[in-house]
Amino acid sequence: MMKNILLCVTGSIAAYKAAELANRFVKDGYNVDVIMSDSALEFITPLTFQSLTKNKVYTSMFNEYEPEQVKHISLAKKADLCLVAPATANIIGKIASGIADDMATTVIMALAHAPVFICPAMNTNMYENPIVQRNMKTLEELGYHFIEPKESRLACGDLGKGALAAVEDIVVTVESQLEGKESS
């Protein structure tokens, strides 16, 4: 049976790498549903993800995609795993605070059985901010999983930890989880 990945894309320059992730997961035999935040729409278009996944891309809580379904609930029920990549400080803070004010955060709040993997991508100073670190610790204590960012030259020109983890590392971690194997 085909497994379902819910990919939540937020507003980071690393959003283009989310397209690589979607493409890879589809080629590896997974169904991928994509939710994009308003900020993500400033970096990459829904058409990119729709073309790669062959699925409708969700960008708003208030579009009637299928009136017979409450979409944020049906997406949550369908998901075998949720991947937030790239994850900004904003979405990490919203999830940690229980804020559900857009499609991505509302679906994440509705997930009852699927693990959530969060891939931070932000400036080093933002990533190391005690508030962001506290929010991540809170989420880890609640059972959320993090795929650590890497150290690299960031979009702002700084060198430090905060770049989205390598696509291959994310794929191996997610697929190991879905297939019931421990990732290394």
Q: Which of 159, 147, 162, 116 is nearest to 13 (CA)?
A: 162
- Stated as kind and residue range, the H or E segment containing 23 is helix 15-27
Q: Which of 8, 82, 119, 156 is catalytic?
A: 156
Contacts of 43 (CB under 8 A, 6+ apart): 11, 12, 13, 15, 16
Q: Is 82 part of the annotated catalytic residue set?
A: no
The amino acid that residue 137 corresponds to is: K
The amino acid that residue 88 corresponds to is: T
Q: The tokens of 20 are what?
A: 């690589």
User: DSSP of 88-106, one letter per residue?
Assistant: -HHHHHHHHHT---SHHHH
Q: At what angle do helices 89-97 and 103-110 cross, to 10 degrees?
A: 40
Contacts of 94 (CB under 8 A, 6+ apart): 100, 101, 105
The residues carrying an active-site annotation are: 156
